[in-house]
Amino acid sequence: MFISWMINVGLMVSILFTVVDCTCNNLPLTNGNWWDSRVNKAITINTGTVTDGWGFSINSQQFDTFSCTISDDSRWVFRSDNTIELLFGANYYAFYCLQYTYLTDNSYMYYVQSDIEQFNGERVYLVDTSSANNNSVEAYCSPDNGRSGPDIREYHVFVKENTQNSVHQNQYFPDPLLGVFSYTVNDGSNTFCGAESVWDGCYDTSNSIDRTTVILNYTQCSTTLMGAVGGKLYNVANVTESGSTYYVILINADGVDPIFTCLAVSQSGNTRYISTNPGGCAWNQTSTSRTGNADSVLITMTAYETCLFTTTTSTTTTTTTTPAPTTTGVTLEADTKASENSDGSNTGVIVGVVLSLLLLIAIIVIAFLLYQKYFKKRKAHIQHMTLKDQGPDIKRPLPPDSDFTLSELNLKREPTMSDDLVIDSLSPRGKALPMERVLSRASAPYETQSSQRNYL
């Protein structure tokens, strides 16, 4: 009886915690350095405050640090800790509303849900001090002027510093990058590489093609691409614009400047067209022209072969549950902004519930000890009280795991394919291939290819 009374109290505390969650207490961006593709360098986070990396100035006045002030299940609102005087006598805060999606424990993707600010040409919301105390996330996440909210390609990623070797797991390349290619690189004035070069997107780990790694052969062409000093890059995230151009953010395995590079990728027959942009993608980036960034290059690739996957005859249920492209947790293929970031939406609530559960257990234990020690004599009295107050049965909160959505489970799941995949035909470059296979894959329109994928 006493315990059930304690559970009631615990539930109330738990509800309280869920409410408190909207003040950004459970920001999953843990303390330390995170690489942010928006500024394309490390930022420092300390208990919900970006203490380094986001600062910028307007009219020689500086915004330095930003604290997460309010949040909901898909958005974090960061407000500058100081104000600057933009108009005579009017002081302004800078707000960043980040609409985020969970990718892995060490990586998130996000959109800045703000208009482009005319003062600096970036997505940020400058708010007069008199309007800066609204508790509603909506008040700071509703871009409405000019070019309005971000286009689907204007996404960014956070990767916890030095975790590039783990965040690519399960973050698969879109189909046009699943192959071994020769490539040329054009930086606007010169063209590098060519016929003998090798871009290997069929990187093979322990008998399965991981679909998340590019290996460049600098013996064949020595031009360092995208900061990949060691010739290795990983997929962090990708989105699709109108079903034909893919926007992929890569991180170089060395974790050196430029840490992130966005690729806009399209395919025509056996050819891939790619433009690069350091950091996230440019708002107007297309696969066939360089962006406004001086380091943007055009890469044209010709497939030696595509990665061919096949499952063994004993295909298990684990392989069949591999998310198909259209049902992958990241629902960014949709056109509507409303559906852009539906993942990670429960993360805050889950963290709240977990914390509450821990607190509840602590309360029960302490209460039990106190009860054992001091209140034995009053047992009868307490029993009387709880009997009287006993309401309808209240269910124990579910264990935290059961609160995860299906899509999160998919995203967090360990790789399931390695044991079931064998490489059907990953022949060395130049070796004869079953041509009809390669050609049929390469020449079929992309949309119809998913039905031909052997690896699902």
Chain contacts with ligand NAG (rule: CB under 6 A): 134, 136, 138-139, 171-172, 174, 215, 217, 219-220, 237-238, 240, 282, 284, 289, 292, 325, 328, 330
Q: How far is the CB of 239 from ligand NAG (least distance, A)?
A: 7
Q: Which residue is nearest to ligand NAG (CB)?
A: 292
Tell me whether residue 380 or residue 432 sits nearer to ligand NAG (CB atom).
432
Give the tokens for residue 212: 């998340």
CB 433 within 8 A of CB 425: yes
Structure tokens at 205: 């780990």
- DSSP-assigned letters across all residues of 110-175: EEE-SPEETTTTEE-EEEEGGGTT---GGGGS---STT-SPPTT--EEEEETT-HHHHTTT-PPPG
* Minimum CB distance to ligand NAG smaller for 17 or for 100: 100
> Residue 292 or 399: which CB sits closer to ligand NAG?
292
DSSP line for 208-267: EE-SSEEEE-TTT-----TT-TTSEEEEEEEEEETTTEEEEEEEETT--SS-EEEEEEEE
Cβ 303 to ligand NAG, closest distance in Å? 17
In angstroms, give the least distance from the CB of 190 to ligand NAG. 20
Give the integer Cα–Cα distance in Å for 157 and 38.
8
CB of 405 to ligand NAG, least distance (A): 16
Which of residues 144 and 401 has its CB atom nearest to ligand NAG in the complex? 144
Closest CA to 296 of 309, 306, 287: 287
Q: How many CB atoms lie within 10 A of CB 222?
A: 12
Residue 75 Cβ, how far from ligand NAG at the closest point, in Å?
13
Cα separation of 279 and 371, whole Å?
58
Identify which of residues 47 and 224 has a Cβ nearer to ligand NAG in the complex: 224
Strands 90-104, 309-311: pairing is unpaired
Shortest reach from residue 447's CB to ligand NAG, in Å: 11
Distance in Å, CB of 293 to ligand NAG, minimum = 9
By beta-carbon proximity to ligand NAG, the closer residue of 132 and 355 is: 132
Q: The tokens 């106190």 sit on which residue? A: 370
Place of tokens 């151009």: 245
Whether 22 contacts 73, CB under 8 Å: no
Instruction: Please identify, using beta-carbon distances, which residue of 207 and 289 lies nearer to ligand NAG.
Output: 289
Specify the residue, 50 or 281, whose C-beta has the smaller distance to ligand NAG. 281
**Chain position carrying tokens 């005859």:** 313
Q: How far is the CB of 39 from ligand NAG (least distance, A)?
A: 17
